[in-house]
Amino acid sequence: MFNLNPALVDVKPKRGDLHLENFVKEVFLDSDTVMGIITGAPLGDENDNILPPDLMVRTRETINRVAGSKRMLSHGLAAPNNPGWEDDVTRQAEVLKIDGWKCYTGVPVRPWRFDDEKIAYPFFEKCLKLGVKTISVHKGLPIAGTSPEYCRPWDIRKAAVDWPEITFIVYHSGFKNLTHEIKEGSSGIGADGYLEWTTDIVRDRLAEPRMTNVYCELGSVFGHTAITHPEICAHLLGQLMKAFGPDRIVWGTDCIWWGSPQWQIEAFRRFQIPEALQSAHGYPALTAVDKAKIFGLNAAKIYGVDVAAARKALPEDALSRLKAAYHDHGPVPSNTQYGWINDGAAAGDPPWLKTA
C-alpha cells in the first residue's frame, strides 16, 4: 500500500508470520534480546490501528505469564487529535495499565504538533494525572500518506521545556529518509537531506540545556544506515552522542518488521564512529559502556525496570529454559524480513541500495 516494493504486492505472507509464536521465536529465541517494549501506530481512527492497544497488552501479559518474569512492556496509543481521546487514554492507563504512550503527529487525517497548546497540552496534563508520563512519538520517516511537515521534530523543544515532568522519546531520531539516493561524497550533515531533521533536534538540544527530558530512539534508522551507508550512520550516532550523550539515546529495531533483531544487535556491537569524523566534527567515540546504556540501561531507567532484579530472574525463567532447549537442538533462524525487501534488481535503484 505504501509502494515501497511493488514486487511484494502479490506475495502472500505465510500463516503465522506475524503471530505471537513467531514473534517470540524471532525476538527472544533467535536474538540476544531479553526484554522489549511492543509499540503500534495510531495512524487514524481507532478502527484503523494495525495493532490496537488491547492486543499489544495481551502480548505483554501472555509473554510475561509464560516466562514467569518481566520480559515485555507495552505502549498504549494516544491520539489527542481524535474526538473522544480523553476517555480512550483513561481506559488504557487505568484498565490496560500501559507502560507509556505512542503518538503519531503526521497522521493522514488531522495532523497535529506537540507544541500545539490546544491539542497536545491537554493530553500532557492528562498524562500527569494518570501517572503515565513517558510519551514516544514517531518523528522522521514520513511514510506515504502522512504529512512530512508534521513528522519533523521541530515541535519537541517547546513541549519538552514546557513539560519537564514528562519524558519524550523521539522515535527514529527524526531521521528524514531511508529510500532516496545518497550522493557520492555525502557529508551526512544536513544539506544532504538525510540528517536534516535529526540535525534540527540536535541543534535544539545544544541550544537548550533544559531539554534533559528528551531521548532519541534508533528504530530502523541505525540498522539500515549501518548496512547501506555507514558514514551516514556514523554522522547520525555522532550528532546524537554530541548533543544528547550516551545517557539519552535508546535502542530500537522495529522488529519483527525487519525479521529477528540479531543482525542489528551484532552490527551495533561492532560499529564505531571513525576517528577522522570524530576529529572533524567533535564527535565522541562509542565505548562499550555507552553501548550498554543505549542497548537497554537507558530504557530500563525510563520505564522503571529494576535491572538487578530482572537479571536475577532471567536465567531460571521459562523463556530462558525454552531458549536453551531450542539451541540444544540446533537453532533454525528464518532470516526473513517481513517488511520492505530490495535485492537491488529493480530498474532505477540507487547503487548503494544494491549492497543492502
Mean pLDDT over 51-58 rounds to 94
How far is residue 238's CA from residue 36's CA, in Å, rounded to a whole number?
A: 25
| pLDDT at residue 122, rounded to an integer | 98
Window from 79-88, 265-274, 317-326, 337-346 with minimum mean pLDDT: 337-346
DSSP state of 94: I
| pLDDT at residue 337, rounded to an integer | 73
- Kindly report, residue by residue over 121-161, the tens digit of the pLDDT: 999 999 999 999 999 999 999 877 788 899 999 999 999 99
Q: Does residue 73 sit in helix, strand or coil?
A: strand
- Kindly report whether the peptide bond that precedes residue 256 is cis, defined as omega within 30 degrees of 0: yes
- Kindly report, residue by residue over 251-261, the tens digit of the pLDDT: 999 998 889 99
How far is residue 168's CA from residue 213's CA, in Å, rounded to a whole number?
A: 6
Contacts of range 284-289, beta carbons closer than 8 Å, 24 or more positions apart: 284/238, 284/241, 284/242, 286/237, 286/241, 286/246, 287/246, 289/246
Task: Round the average pLDDT of the chain to a whole number and report it.
Answer: 88
CA angle 138, 139, 143 (to 5 degrees): 80
Name the percent of the chain lying above pLDDT 70. Answer: 85
| pLDDT at residue 63, rounded to an integer | 97
Q: Does residue 250 sit in helix, strand or coil?
A: strand
- Residue with the larger pLDDT of the pair 2 and 131: 131
Count of all residues that appear for the chain in the document = 356
| pLDDT at residue 343, rounded to an integer | 45
Mean pLDDT over 242-267 rounds to 95
Confidence of residue 224 (pLDDT cuts 50, 70, 90): confident
Summary count for the chain: helices (H), strands (E)? 15, 7
Q: Are 129 and 121 in contact (CB under 8 A)?
A: no
Confidence of residue 355 (pLDDT cuts 50, 70, 90): very low
- Kindly report, residue by residue over 165-190, the tens digit of the pLDDT: 999 999 999 998 754 444 444 444 44
Query: Is CATH 3.20.20.140 what the domain over 6-355 is classified as, yes or no?
Result: yes
